[in-house]
Amino acid sequence: MESERLRLREFTPADLDLLVELDSDPEVMRFLTGKATPRGEIADVVLPGMLRVYGEHPGLGTFAAEEKSGGAFVGWFGLQPTADPGTVDVGYRLNRAAWGKGYATEGTRMLIDYAFGELQVERVVADTMAVNHRSRAVMRRSGLRFARLWHEHFEDPLPGTEFGEVEYAIDRRTWEAGRRA
Ligand SMILES: CC(C)(COP(=O)(O)OP(=O)(O)OC[C@H]1O[C@@H](n2cnc3c(N)ncnc32)[C@H](O)[C@@H]1OP(=O)(O)O)[C@@H](O)C(=O)NCCC(=O)NCCS
């Protein structure tokens, strides 16, 4: 899958180092776990989990994003199944060198178009911590709209957890209207 500047592809077992490096930046992980993900966890849990989704849910999963010009790895975009078969969850994680270029919005729009246009879903959602303003801005720029705020209990909460979690969403009718505009 391609957009103007990005190419998405499936991850393979050979991508372990790319994922370890991405998750080793505490700024990237700030609103996720707050710390680097151990290499062993990526090798034994994260990457095998990603590979499994490709087989179990054709068209869905976590996809490596590369710059079309030069091929540099910039991070990943994902479409994950949810409890509702007509709804998919979009997400993204980019390395810091790739922030501030519009890549996150470009990739998210590409996956939303793919979800409605190819996968024929009815709704795309995205969620993050309420205090993750950069991520919320990506959601807004991608056409998702604020849907709800809720509070979760964590044993070891990240700073800002007290402000809650937010969900943004777009339904098929709104997506179609945006394409006609
Ligand atoms: C969330 C995240 C992807 C946002 O990245 P981002 O770079 O802020 O978002 P975009 O790629 O859409 O880029 C937008 C910025 O690029 C700028 N930009 C530069 N060139 C641009 C272009 N050609 N087109 C569009 N925007 C451009 C925009 O003005 C905007 O700048 P601003 O933030 O100063 O307003 C990134 O911070 C990240 O990976 N965080 C860690 C993981 C994470 O928290 N994920 C979400 C958890 S649910």
Assign residue 57 the CATH number of its domain: 3.40.630.30
pLDDT at 164: 97
Residues lining ligand 1, Cβ inside 6 A = 28, 31, 91-94, 99-105, 128, 132, 134-135, 138, 141
Q: Determine the average pLDDT of the residues in 112-130.
A: 97
Note whether residue 38 is domain-resident: yes
Tell me: pLDDT of 161 over 90: yes
Q: Whose CA is nearest to atom 24 of ligand 1?
A: 102
Query: In the chain, what percentage of residues exceed pLDDT 70?
Result: 100
Report residue 116's pLDDT band, with 50, 70 and 90 as the boundaries.
very high
| pLDDT tier at 181, thresholds 50, 70, 90 | confident
Pick from 137, 63, 78: nearest CA to 102: 137
User: Is 1 inside any structural domain?
Assistant: no
| 143 belongs to a structural domain | yes
Quick: pLDDT tens for 50-97.
Answer: 999 999 999 999 999 999 999 999 999 999 999 999 999 999 999 999
Q: Could you tell me the residue range of the domain that residue 65 belongs to?
A: 6-180
Measuring CA to CA, which residue among 161, 33, 171, 48 is closest to residue 93?
33
pLDDT at residue 180 tops 90:
no
Residue 179 reports pLDDT greater than 90: no
Segment 126-141 shows an average pLDDT of 98
Testing ligand 1's pocket by substitution, the residue of 99, 111, 124, 144 carrying the most ligand atoms inside 8 A of its CB is 99
d(CA 6, CA 92): 13
Sheet with strand 165-171: strands edge to edge: 6-10, 61-67, 73-81, 87-94, 123-129, 165-171, 145-150
Q: Which atom of ligand 1 is nearest to the CA of 91?
A: 48
How many distinct structural domains can be found in the chain? 1
Q: Which residue has the higher pLDDT, 156 or 44?
A: 44
Our separate counts of H helices and E strands in the chain read 6, 7
**The pLDDT of residue 47:** 98
Amino acid (one-letter) located at 106: E
Query: What pLDDT score was predicted for residue 172?
Result: 98
Distance of CA 141 from the midpoint of ligand 1 (Å): 10
Average of per-residue pLDDT across 138-153: 97
Residue 160 has pLDDT above 90, yes or no: yes
